[in-house]
Amino acid sequence: MSGDQGGSGGGFGPADVLSHAQLLWESERAARALGRLGVRAGDPVPVLLPMCLESVIVTLACVQLSALRISLPLGDRHGLLRHRLRGSDARLVITADACHSNGRVYGTKAVLDRALVGSSTVHTVLVVPQVARPVPWQPGRDCWWHEALSPGTLPPRPYAGSMSDISRPGRTQADTGRALDFDDPLERRSSDDSDRGWGDPPEDAEAGDVARFLSEKPPHHL
């Protein structure tokens, strides 16, 4: 059986950018979702994801819950996956539906399903859509990532071939992007910075001008 979404949306787009505040907001939302699904402090959370924003968000969510993230290797080695999964006694696994690897589409979810055959411990598989293609689905166990974070919702928009776009109150399309934004704001000139840099005020400045000069300096100059 194939999942109805078929990787049609729900992921961050290829140009998505998250500021540090947005990243923390998404990780808090993911932590609440994992908590609703029974993840507690010390619990293992196996993750089978490529390099993507959701992988970073999952890591931060596990930190917030004091859960243990276990990174599973990509590849057709379902024997190794089965060993890692059974050794972890995990009840929840996070995976991509599929991903691009070495120039081909790798059926991540299908490989995970083979590794989970006979498993009696895993009761939830969260699937992060990445590649628009049918995905094997086990009703009652499998759940789309975006639906777990926002129960009852559908992906906000179709996407061009990467991970999920999660709406945020007050967030506009211009706020979205695909990389993490770690720019140092101190490296840029402040919008209210009227001086020409660090140094003394002009020689002809009066006492009132000096006081205003000091009071108007942005905090990072003090």
CATH of the domain at 106: 3.40.50.980
Residue 212: give the domain boundaries: 185-221
Give the pLDDT confidence of 37-66 residue by residue, as tens digits.
999 999 999 999 998 899 999 999 999 999
Q: Are residues 202 and 171 in the same domain?
A: no
Assess whether 60 and 110 both reside in one domain.
yes
Decide which of 155, 175, 195 is a domain's last residue: 175
Identify the residue with better confidence: 186 or 74: 74
Number of H helices, E strands in the chain: 6, 7
Q: Is pLDDT of 195 > 60?
A: no
φ/ψ bin of 13: left (φ > 0), alpha (ψ from -120 to 50), beta (otherwise): beta
Q: Which of 71-85, 130-144, 173-187 has the lowest mean pLDDT?
A: 173-187
Q: pTM of the entire structure? A: 0.65
pLDDT band at 108 (very low <50, low <70, confident <90, very high): very high
What six digits make up the tokens of 181? 């934004």
pLDDT average, residue stretch 118-144: 93
Q: By CB neighbour count within 10 A (0-12 exposed, 13-18 middle, 19+ buried), where does 59 fall?
A: middle
